[in-house]
Amino acid sequence: MAATAPRQLALALEHTERLTREDFLAGPSNEAALSMIERWPDWPSRMMALAGPPGSGKSHLASIWAAQAGARFLSARALPETHLPAALATGALVVEDIVDGDLDERTLFHLLNLARQDGAWLLLTAPTPPTQWRIALADLASRLRAVPALTLAPPDDALLRAVIVKLFADRQLVVDEALVGYLVSRIERSVAAARAAVTWLDQEALRRKRPVNRALAAELLRDTGL
């Protein structure tokens, strides 16, 4: 019987999702956004926005662009404490996770002005496009209306299947179509849900010393009442 010790060690390892272009899975839900990211610097504006639900691929696309443009990353929550000229030092910046209603408007307005003055590139990520944000500062609202937005939709069945297979492969697990089809028909239609399901199945398989397959998935879902 083949030794199982190396596989058991996986429980102690961090599974880092790779965010390169080669690891990005394209489909109808994201192909327009991917095409625009890959067109850089041939953009209609030096400021762009990526909008979509959690797990839709915004961070992955932002990482692809950052590798091309030499961009730094900045959380929207960190804007008030950030020295903005330093953040724009490379000439390109990703501002991630902008939350409508929880935004330092004056600091963002200052950042947009500074970027325009310096000829820098900006990529903003948020759940919704800038035109849908509730902005009290009139000048900022006007600037944001001019920012082109790339919207990511939930994945279709084919893309969700490919994502599930890749997430298992990242954990050195090869799974069959029965399991993939079972998960696609039962989980929420999002990459975040697929990631959570794969992590859960892998951890439970290791804990129970069981293979990762449809039978285990059905048992786990039955036990949790889902």
Mean pLDDT per 10-residue run, the chain (226 residues)? Answer: 36 57 87 95 97 89 96 96 96 96 94 97 97 96 95 91 93 95 92 92 95 95 72
pLDDT in tens, 127-155: 999 999 999 999 999 999 999 999 998 88
Check residue 16 and give its pLDDT. 59
CA distance 58 to 203: 26
Check residue 12 and give its pLDDT. 38
Q: What is the pTM of this model?
A: 0.80
Which residues make up the CATH 3.40.50.300 domain(s) of the chain?
Answer: 22-151
CA 89 from chain centre, in angstroms, equals: 25
Check residue 11 and give its pLDDT. 39
Check residue 15 and give its pLDDT. 55
CA distance 168 to 148: 35
Check residue 200 and give its pLDDT. 95
Check residue 190 and give its pLDDT. 86
Q: How buried is 12 (Cβ within 10 angstroms: 0-12 exposed, 13-18 middle, 19+ buried)?
A: exposed
Nearest to 203 by CA among 188, 220, 187, 191: 220
Strand, helix or coil at 163? helix
CATH number for the region 156-224 comes to 1.10.8
The CA angle 110-32-49, to the nearest 5 degrees, is 10
CATH number for the region 22-151 comes to 3.40.50.300
CA distance 182 to 179: 5
Residues 6+ away with beta carbon under 8 Å from 54? 127, 190, 192
Kind and range of the H or E run holding 169 = helix 157-170
Check residue 165 and give its pLDDT. 95
CA 186 from chain centre, in angstroms, equals: 21
Which residues make up the CATH 1.10.8 domain(s) of the chain?
Answer: 156-224
Check residue 125 and give its pLDDT. 97
Check residue 17 and give its pLDDT. 63
Check residue 4 and give its pLDDT. 36
